[in-house]
Every structure is written in structure tokens, then in C-alpha cells.
């Protein structure tokens, strides 16, 4: 299937081209035609599947087809509202709208806490076509009479299960009272807990369900979480690596810079470690990979992109120095171990910031995540001098980290089966 087959307007197809997308992802193939037909859609898909474009493209198309035209009203009212749980996600969605809609005349804005209320108010007053908002601040604007949602004809609730986890559902219900009942509603969620199911029944009109299955980690892999403060990650990793008897360990970091920094530190501590990250030339990457494959290096410190497609059968341990953002990325990473029915172990260093990600993984993947502590590791170690003041509140022990996850050291839990 191609984007041309959806019958989208030329201006929107141009936006897709400028993003470099050539083929729709599965959620896009399934959702776009249904949304274009005007149906309410409940999309069971998570970040990483291309869900943003799956609703932004038909949204732009709908707005284009029934364009009111700028200046048609003294103050144009928003016609589409996207509600998202976090500022980061709201920013990402807004950025996607700007690129996909750059050949259209539509204007979008973000509304969330921690940013200037007045600037948001001024933009709302001037008028925008699309609002991307987090629930709390949007409700503030509504309550103060600054946001008029009476012309919204398309509503998207993105990452609905995460909004539920964050306690936003009552706010969403209040926001809904200010939006016309005659509208198209789209809801995206990685999972379908009962509260979300109930919400969909109340606010959606016979929604079409679009489900994209995600991959599951192999059964031969065991998974452990190690709660640890951010500033202790590197000494923790070193201790962990000393405890592991393995010839090949793959460590994942979130950024290229971190991959380099962690490798340098490991090398200084006497480990045979090598990096694999996007800033390296192809020749350097190949050298790293070959060295890891033939046993010259015991540890490969990689970023997701650099490790894509890597096939090395002898890896027994994957360590997430940083947790990935999506269950698919987690599956992909840990899939580097436990290959061909060999057993493998996946260790993840988790901080307080990973709480929601862990909750979402628990729900979406049928795996057992066991919380562990590392015997003999000094969880009370002080932060490096320059960070000490900032992190002093955070030099807490493993105990504190575990409390964050609401479990004690011996607890473990089985992920609930994904509702389908
Ligand atoms: P999302 O799930 O919307 O957060 O998208 C995940 C990533 O996939 C983003 O980096 C998008 O830019 C990218 N993406 C979305 N749709 C496509 C597509 N059809 N082709 C290539 N990349 C895509």
C-alpha cells in the first residue's frame, strides 16, 4: 500500500514526502482509511508504530476539505483538539503537525503547564486550527474562559492508558463537556484497561477498533529490573559486569554521547569494551562489531539505531543502561540475546523517571519483571562533586528506588495479560 492510495490531498502528500515516509506503517494502513470515512477509531497501538501520522494525516485532510479559511471569522476557533499526557509528547505531536501540514495553512499550538500562560492565552485569542494539549493546563484555560472549544469537530486522546495512570481521566471528562457532541473522536492507547474501555463507550460513537500487534520477547529470556539512582548508573554497571560470567554482553544507552562516555569509563576500569553509535564512521562501527563478534571485546555499548539488525548469536546478557521508550524497542533490544533457543538475561537499570514506562511494559508484554538489588553495591554512594548539590536529595538508597515502584526488594510481579 502507498500513501497515494489513501486519496489524501496533494498538499498533505507533499508533507509526507518531506518527512521521507514512503510506505505506511501497519497502524497507518488500517487507521487512515477508516478515519477518512469519518468513523470514530480506537487504536490499540503504542509509540513507535507511527500512530501520530495515523491520525494527523486524516485530520489535516478533513480540515482542508472543509476549510473555513483564515480570516473567515474574526477570531478563528480551534477545530481539532489532541490531548496527550506529557509535554514531550505534546511537543512531538505539534512538531509532526507542522511538518506534515507545512503545505497547508493550518496553525497549531501546544498548551501545557510549566510554559507561559499568557503566551498561550494570546495565541488562543488570535486563533489556531489545532490545539495539542495536556489536560490540566487546558482545563485552566477553559475555566478562565480563554479556550473556546465549541468548534472542535475532531478530538484525539493520545496515550489514553498513560493519561489514566497519571490520573487525568476526571480532567478529560470535564474538558469533554466543552466540546460539541457531534464530532469525530479518536482514541489511541497501548493497552485497554477497564477504565479506558468504559470511557470509550461513553464518549465514542460505535468506534472501529484498529489493533496493531507488537512483538513479544522470546520465552527463553529472563528479565530483571535494578532500581538505581541516575547518578549511580555507571558504578552500578561496573559492579554488575563484574558479577556476570559471560563472554559477550551488550549494553544499550539512550544517546550516542552516553554510549561513548560509558565505553570510555569501562575501558578505564579495565573492561574490554567498545562502542557502537551513530557518530562513528562505518569503518569504525564494523571494526567494533567484528571485535565483539570474534571475542576481542567482551562488552559492546550501543545505541538502538546503531544496533539495528545486528545478529550475534553468542550474546548472553543485554543490559539496558537506559530504559527504551517503547515495548517494541525493549523487545528488539533483548532479542539480541536468547537467540536460537539459547537462554539469555535482560537487565534494566531503572530510575524514578522510568516508572510509567515500566508500568506500560508490564501491561503490554507477557513477561515477568523481577526487581533485584545488587549485593555489595553501595547505594548510598555520593554523587560526583559537581552534581552533589543538585542530586543530594537523590542519593537515596536502593530502598528508596524500590519504594518508588511500590514494592519491596523481594517482590516480583507478573505482567497482566494484555487486553485484546
Ligand atoms: P510514532 O509512533 O508516531 O511516535 O512514530 C514513530 C516514529 O516512526 C517517528 O519517528 C516517525 O517519524 C516514524 N514514522 C511514522 N510513520 C512512518 C512511515 N510511514 N515511514 C517511516 N517512518 C515513519
Q: What is the CATH number of the domain that holds 335?
A: 3.40.50.300
Report the C-alpha gap between 64 and 106 in whole angstroms.
8
Q: Which of 27-31, 81-85, 167-171, 343-347 has the lowest mean pLDDT?
A: 343-347
81 beta partners: 131, 155
Report the C-alpha gap between 176 and 185 in whole angstroms.
11
Residue at 368 is within a domain: yes
Residue at 98 is within a domain: yes
Which pLDDT belongs to residue 86? 87
Report the mean per-residue pLDDT for the chain. Answer: 85
- Neighbour-count burial of 313, counting CB atoms closer than 10 A to its CB (0-12 exposed, 13-18 middle, 19+ buried): exposed
Which pLDDT belongs to residue 58? 97
Ligand 1 in contact with 235 (CB < 6 A)?
A: no
Name the pLDDT band for 292 (thresholds 50, 70, 90).
very high
Structure-model confidence comparison of residues 191 and 238, the more confident one: 238
Ligand 1 in contact with 21 (CB < 6 A)?
A: yes
Residue 331 and residue 192 share a domain: no
Which pLDDT belongs to residue 66? 80
Residue 139 and residue 81 share a domain: yes
Residue at 163 is within a domain: yes
Residue 250 and residue 153 share a domain: no
Residue 292 and residue 180 share a domain: no
Q: Which domain holds residue 278?
A: 221-419
Residues 6+ apart with CB under 8 A from 34: 41, 208, 210
Residue 288 and residue 168 share a domain: no
Report the C-alpha gap between 280 and 335 in whole angstroms.
24
Length of the chain: 420
The atom number, within ligand 1, closest to the CA of 49 reads 2
Residue at 225 is within a domain: yes
Could you tell me the distance, in angstroms and rounded to a whole number, from the CA of residue 341 to the centre of ligand 1?
Answer: 31
Which pLDDT belongs to residue 211? 86
Domain count, the chain: 2
Give me the helix-helix angle, 327-334 and 355-364, nearest 10°: 80
Query: Which of 184, 211, 238 lies at the terminal end of a domain, its last residue?
Result: 211
Report the C-alpha gap between 99 and 78 in whole angstroms.
19
Q: Count Cβ atoms below 10 Å from residue 103 Cβ, excluding itself.
A: 17
Pocket test for ligand 1, best of 28, 53, 190 (most atoms within 8 A of CB): 53
Phi-psi region of 295 (alpha: psi -120 to 50; beta: other; left: phi over 0): left
Q: How many H helices and E strands in the chain?
A: 17, 15
pTM for the whole thing?
0.64
In percent, the amount of the chain with pLDDT more than 70 equals 85
Ligand 1 in contact with 51 (CB < 6 A)?
A: yes
Q: Which of 22-36, 229-243, 294-308 has the lowest mean pLDDT?
A: 294-308
Residues 6+ apart with CB under 8 A from 371: 224, 225, 226, 227, 402, 405, 407, 409, 411, 412
Residue 267 and residue 199 share a domain: no
Secondary structure element (H or E) that encloses residue 349, with its range: strand 344-350
Name the pLDDT band for 369 (thresholds 50, 70, 90).
confident
Which pLDDT belongs to residue 142? 97
Query: Does position 63 have pLDDT exceeding 90, yes or no?
Result: yes
Residue at 97 is within a domain: yes
Q: Residue 226's closest CA among 382, 359, 358? A: 358
Which pLDDT belongs to residue 341? 47
Residue at 216 is within a domain: no
Which pLDDT belongs to residue 281? 85
Q: Residue 372's closest CA among 354, 406, 348? A: 348
Amino acid at each position: 500500500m502507498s500513501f497515494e492510495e489513501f486519496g489524501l490531498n496533494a498538499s498533505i502528500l507533499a508533507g509526507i514526502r518531506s518527512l521521507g515516509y514512503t510506505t505506511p506503517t501497519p497502524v497507518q494502513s488500517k487507521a487512515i482509511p477508516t478515519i477518512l470515512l469519518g468513523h470514530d477509531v480506537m487504536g490499540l497501538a503504542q509509540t513507535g508504530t507511527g500512530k501520530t501520522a495515523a491520525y494527523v494525516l486524516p485530520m489535516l485532510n478533513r480540515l482542508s476539505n472543509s476549510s473555513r479559511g483564515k480570516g473567515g471569522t474574526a477570531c478563528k476557533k480551534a477545530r481539532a483538539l489532541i490531548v496527550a499526557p506529557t509535554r514531550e509528547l505534546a511537543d512531538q505531536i505539534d512538531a509532526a503537525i507542522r511538518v506534515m501540514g507545512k503545505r497547508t495553512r493550518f496553525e497549531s499550538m501546544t498548551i501545557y503547564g510549566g510554559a507561559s500562560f499568557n503566551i498561550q492565552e494570546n495565541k488562543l485569542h488570535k486563533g489556531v486550527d489545532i490545539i495539542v494539549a495536556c489536560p490540566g493546563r487546558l482545563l485552566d484555560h477553559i475555566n478562565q474562559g480563554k479556550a473556546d472549544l465549541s468548534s472542535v469537530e475532531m478530538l484525539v486522546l493520545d496515550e489514553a492508558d498513560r493519561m489514566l495512570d497519571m490520573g487525568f481521566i476526571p480532567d478529560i471528562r470535564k474538558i469533554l463537556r466543552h466540546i460539541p457532541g457531534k464530532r469525530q473522536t479518536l482514541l489511541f492507547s497501548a493497552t485497554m484497561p477497564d477504565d479506558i474501555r468504559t470511557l470509550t463507550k461513553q464518549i465514542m460513537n460505535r468506534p472501529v477498533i484498529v489493533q496493531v500487534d507488537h512483538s513479544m520477547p522470546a520465552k527463553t529470556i529472563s528479565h530483571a529490573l535494578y532500581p538505581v539512582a541516575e547518578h549511580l548508573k555507571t558504578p552500578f554497571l561496573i559492579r554488575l559486569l563484574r558479577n556476570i560470567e559471560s563472554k559477550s554482553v551488550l549494553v544499550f544507552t539512550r544517546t550516542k554521547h552516553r554510549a561513548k562516555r560509558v565505553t570510555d569509563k569501562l575501558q578505564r576500569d579495565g573492561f574490554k569494551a567498545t562502542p557502537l553509535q551513530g557518530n562513528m564512521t562505518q569503518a569504525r562501527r564494523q571494526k567494533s562489531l567484528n571485535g565483539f563478534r570474534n571475542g576481542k571485546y567482551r562488552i559492546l555499548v550501543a545505541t538502538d539505531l546503531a544496533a539495528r539488525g545486528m545478529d550475534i548469536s553468542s550474546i548472553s546478557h543485554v543490559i539496558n543502561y537506559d530504559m527504551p521508550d517503547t515495548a517494541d524497542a525493549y523487545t528488539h533490544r533483548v532479542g539480541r540475546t536468547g537467540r536460537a533457543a539459547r537462554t539469555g538475561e535482560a537487565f534494566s537499570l531503572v530510575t524514578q523517571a522510568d516508572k510509567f514506562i515500566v508500568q506500560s511494559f508490564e501491561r503490554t508484554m507477557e513477561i515477568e519483571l523481577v526487581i533485584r538489588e545488587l549485593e555489595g553495591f553501595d547505594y548510598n554512594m555520593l554523587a560526583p562533586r559537581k552534581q552533589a548539590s543538585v542530586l543530594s536529595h537523590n542519593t537515596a538508597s536502593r530502598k528508596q528506588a524500590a519504594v518508588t515502584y511500590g514494592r519491596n526488594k523481594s517482590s516480583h510481579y507478573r505482567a497482566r495479560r494484555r487486553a485484546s
